[in-house]
Amino acid sequence: MNNIFILSACRSPIGSFGGGLSGVSALQLGTHVAQAAIAHAGLGAERIEHSAFGMVSLSEPDDLYLSRIVAMRAGAPETVSGVNVNMLCGSGLQAVVQGMQTLALGGADVALVGGVETISRTTHLLPAARFGKRLGDTMVVDLLDAALTCPFGRVKLGVTAETLAREFQISREAQDDCALQSHMRARAAQEAGRLATQIVPVDLPCGRVVAQDEGPRDTSAKLLGRLPAAFVPGGSVTAGNSGALGDAAAALVLARAVPKGHTPMARITAAAQSGVDPSRMGYGPILAVRKLLARTGLGIDDFDLIESNEAFAAQALVVARELGLDPLRANPDGGAIAHGHPVGATGAILTVKAAHGLARAGRGRALVAMCVGGGQGIAVALEAV
């Protein structure tokens, strides 16, 4: 598995919930970044043999076939196989792993992987519509609300962050400071142009161009401190120190071997997943990373760059503390609290960020880690080539 190379990696901007990308379908967004990834890889689209994309919230019927449709619209031949991946928050990262495993097992030589999520377009279900309802009111189910609710305890995922905050004594002030740092780092990365190389701008029908993440903002400890608890009365988890909903897509081209004349961005060296008590959902990455370290013989200090998803500041702080993450190496360009958390795409986006970070440095290792709603964790290790 040490020879699965990332030939290219790109993403769309992350649009805010109901923002600039809310009118763009998942298929349009996924195809847009897939075309860019294939072009950046310098390979003909006919070389794509397999496609895997993460997606959680359905927005239209063709989303059921999204992975194969995106690949074919991006130029892949009709012989391409396609797999939709749903691991909730970990979907985009698991799609990367799925593509890696397919290549490692010899199922294909080149794969297109990534994640797409248009949260703003998430549908509602009308369960009684299939066979009708004779009399009375009927229920409409919000799939977005369902995606943000733990299926075991039937509580919002933010409640699991409150559980960790209490267990590990993470203060409201510490959570708000984490959120502030995320925004400051994200804005600094935007201003320095570090994100521009990984983002494919999106042209809207109205003539507007969305070229950067809509989430990062100029906030302050005072403003964050004014926000009320979002999930538990008197709690410490707020909308301001939680990952924001968003719309985005990301795509990477993976290969078993580096084509002649090409320079890969990085290679994928290991992956691990783990389950955890659903009520402590945010603890999942800790177990997944520890499993990955045990498999590889590496230590956490062997990683020069870490992209750890900020589903909630409380959860991110617990992960950082328990794994001993160096604050300067973790999320140097900000995290989901600032950029946004387009659930099914986030893992692929973090992989794109890590690949670009390694390519920019020309050396080192990167770790991508995420908690997963329902009580799981996933981690992937990358290495510069």
Phi, psi of 255 (to 5 degrees): -145, 150
- Residue 322 within any structural domain of the chain: yes
Contact 201, 36 (CB under 8 A): no
Work out how many domains the chain is built from and give that number: 1
- Residue 233 within any structural domain of the chain: no
Whole-number Å distance between alpha carbons of 70 and 251? 10
pLDDT tens-place values along the chain, 385 residues long: 567 999 999 999 999 999 999 999 999 999 999 999 999 999 999 999 999 999 999 999 999 999 999 999 999 999 999 999 999 999 999 999 999 999 999 999 999 999 999 999 999 999 999 998 889 999 999 999 999 999 998 999 999 999 999 999 999 999 999 999 999 999 999 999 999 999 999 999 999 999 999 999 999 999 999 999 999 999 999 999 999 999 999 999 999 999 888 899 999 999 999 999 999 999 999 999 999 999 999 999 999 999 999 999 999 999 999 999 998 899 999 999 999 999 999 999 999 999 999 999 999 999 999 999 999 999 999 999 9
Tokens standing for 225?
A: 């401190």
Catalytic residue among 10, 89, 150, 178: 89
Whole-number Å distance between alpha carbons of 319 and 309? 10
Question: Own/partner pairs for 147-154, CB < 8 Å, 24+ apart?
Answer: 147/56, 147/57, 147/88, 147/122, 147/343, 147/373, 148/373, 150/278, 150/279, 150/281, 150/373, 150/374, 150/375, 151/278, 151/374, 152/278, 152/279, 152/374, 152/375, 153/278, 153/279
Domain that holds residue 350: 266-383
- Residue 351 within any structural domain of the chain: yes
Q: What is the pLDDT of residue 380?
A: 98
CA-closest candidate to residue 379, choices 265, 283, 292: 292
Q: What is the pLDDT of residue 255?
A: 97
Told to judge if 206 belongs to the known catalytic residues of this protein, a careful annotator would answer no
- Residue 11 within any structural domain of the chain: no
Query: If residue 112 lies in a helix (H) or strand (E), which one and from where to where?
Result: strand 110-118
Told to judge if 341 belongs to the known catalytic residues of this protein, a careful annotator would answer yes
Q: State the CATH number of the domain containing residue 366.
A: 3.40.47.10
pTM over 0.95? The answer is yes
Q: Please write down the HEC assignment for all residues of 156-205.
A: EHHHHHHHHHHHCCCCHHHHHHHHHHHHHHHHHHHHHCCCCCCECCEECC
Phi, psi of 159 (to 5 degrees): -65, -35
Q: What is the pLDDT of residue 153?
A: 87
- Residue 14 within any structural domain of the chain: no
Tokens standing for 382?
A: 């990358």
- Residue 66 within any structural domain of the chain: no
Contact 231, 156 (CB under 8 A): yes
Q: What is the pLDDT of residue 133?
A: 87
Catalytic residue among 32, 183, 339, 341: 341
- Residue 166 within any structural domain of the chain: no
- Residue 163 within any structural domain of the chain: no
